[in-house]
A and B are shown apart, each in its own frame.
Chain A
């Protein structure tokens, strides 16, 4: 074996520079880290030195490895990318750290954390490569376990996310369906009231029906508004009042009454929207009907503002006032009283000289 003897001689030359008492050489021979030296000046870069740890790791005898290129450690499971990185580092004379699957003499495999460094002579030419090999099979196995576990978890998360997305879609569809039915039923109720109102001639009954129609319309306006915003939990008070006033004033057909709106944007919980709307409807209707009898025009101010942790809703008219025999109907006021109690709102009516001022103070967070 010519290669072997040549490599052997190169190994001897290397050893000759490091006597038996050289502590570095002794350390390399004795360390538990597998180490190799190859001769870069010979064809195909043969191994010229292998320490005992290397022989123990790979299961080869020394004379089976000296004179051979390291590639005999590779096998069917070698990662082509790692192998070509190794080849390029050798060709370019560069350092390299890489993890690759290697094989022992008995065919069993191990993960090798390989560190490769070129050794240069005084002229800067690469004369040797020095390699250390570390068996990191356990670490690799742990990595694989972690990755498998993570993949499992990711699959689990994905499946759960899918379930939740489906559930949300179903919930949204259901919400739309219920919303649709509520709106259609409100439409039906208001059409019923309108139809009956057309048949009735008794003015008292007609006024009652009109009053009920107004209340149903107030709730209808709430529902038209509720699902228009993206946030189904909140209800835009000012937008509602704007709609409500447009509708009430339009159907009252009173061009002699001007409405001034001074609305700050405030939200209330959607669950309070209907009682709130009913209160506002009664107060606005009262201002219209009792403040301004036929032939007596004027102005109504509707204001919404945030004030000391409360929403302050003001409805002021400069009409005839309520001290005469035009007091609002008992039922309307009862509604306001009961619903303000329900909303934990304070409510007071004062003389605006002339006219009437009603202030509703609604707690922002549900309590005073």
Chain B
């Protein structure tokens, strides 16, 4: 495992999912900053805590506000957002500035692999290899991390 631990913010209104995610984050050697359940809470926490990575569900307690949350975090808070949603197809083409998406339902292994992979990408500025199963990268980030030739298949 390379570099310092990533600070990860969870933006998820389903409490049990959030708690389990915290476990997974800690298990791959990252640091959980806590959990936001609404868009306001998410933006407040992101501005205060400056997470390296925010795991963002699209449907939050105040509605389908996750896309805007991801946009604000990546634009205003210097963090990188990653969607975790059951509605992968409804995401905007530019991923609202997020680096990618993990489709729900994800598996324990899928999330851990994706987090380790993204930690490498964020800290080294390039991908360690092909994108793991379960993770789809935004086109902009795939290019940034040197994967423009091996774009993940969404289908």
Q: A194: CB under 8 A from chain B? A: yes
Interface magnitude class on chain B: 20 to 34
Which residues of chain A come closer than 8 Å to B105, judged between CB atoms?
Answer: 183-184, 186-187, 190, 217, 220, 223-224
Task: Say yes or no: A183 contacts B109, CB within 8 Å.
Answer: no
Task: Say yes or no: B20 contacts A229, CB within 8 Å.
Answer: no
* Mask: chain A, 218-253; 1 = CB below 8 Å from B; 0 = not: 001101100111000000000000110011001100
Task: Say yes or no: A188 contacts B14, CB within 8 Å.
Answer: yes
- C-alpha gap A217/B109 in the complex (Å): 10
Task: Say yes or no: B86 contacts A180, CB within 8 Å.
Answer: yes
Task: Say yes or no: A183 contacts B104, CB within 8 Å.
Answer: yes
Q: A198: CB under 8 A from chain B? A: yes
Given A190-B105, A251-B107, A251-B109, A195:B20 Cβ within 8 A: yes
Q: A335: CB under 8 A from chain B? A: no
Q: A120: CB under 8 A from chain B? A: no
Given A180-B86, A228-B155, A247:B20 Cβ within 8 A: no
Task: Say yes or no: A176 contacts B17, CB within 8 Å.
Answer: no
- C-alpha gap A195/B16 in the complex (Å): 8
- C-alpha gap A187/B85 in the complex (Å): 10
Q: A179: CB under 8 A from chain B? A: yes
User: Which one of A195, A217, A246 contacts B19 once the chains associate, using CB atoms below 8 Å?
Assistant: A195
* Mask: chain B, 130-152; 1 = CB below 8 Å from A; 0 = not: 00111000000000000000000
Task: Say yes or no: B19 contacts A187, CB within 8 Å.
Answer: no
Q: A192: CB under 8 A from chain B? A: yes
Closest to A176 in B: B87
- C-alpha gap A73/B56 in the complex (Å): 80
Task: Say yes or no: B106 contacts A187, CB within 8 Å.
Answer: yes
Which residues of chain B come closer than 8 Å to A190, judged between CB atoms?
Answer: 105, 107-108
B:10-69 near A, CB below 8 Å: 14, 16-17, 19-20, 23
Q: A191: CB under 8 A from chain B? A: yes
CB distance from B4 to the nearest CB of A (A): 24
CB distance from A176 to the nearest CB of B (A): 7
CB distance from A160 to the nearest CB of B (A): 29
Which residues of chain B come closer than 8 Å to A217, judged between CB atoms?
Answer: 105, 107
Which residues of chain B come closer than 8 Å to A250, judged between CB atoms?
Answer: 109-110, 113
CB distance from B83 to the nearest CB of A (A): 13
* Mask: chain B, 81-125; 1 = CB below 8 Å from A; 0 = not: 000001111100000000000011111111001000000000000
User: Which one of B16, B86, B133 contacts A183 once the chains associate, using CB atoms below 8 Å?
Assistant: B86
Closest to A227 in B: B89
Which residues of chain B come closer than 8 Å to A221, judged between CB atoms?
Answer: 107
Task: Say yes or no: A194 contacts B155, CB within 8 Å.
Answer: no
A176-B90, A194-B23, A220-B106 are known; give 17 further A-B pairs, CB within 8 A: A176-B87, A179-B86, A183-B103, A183-B105, A184-B104, A186-B104, A187-B14, A188-B17, A191-B19, A194-B20, A198-B23, A213-B108, A217-B105, A228-B155, A242-B133, A247-B109, A250-B113
The list of the 9 closest CB pairs from A to B, nearest first, reads: A183-B86, A220-B105, A251-B109, A191-B20, A187-B105, A186-B105, A246-B133, A250-B109, A187-B104
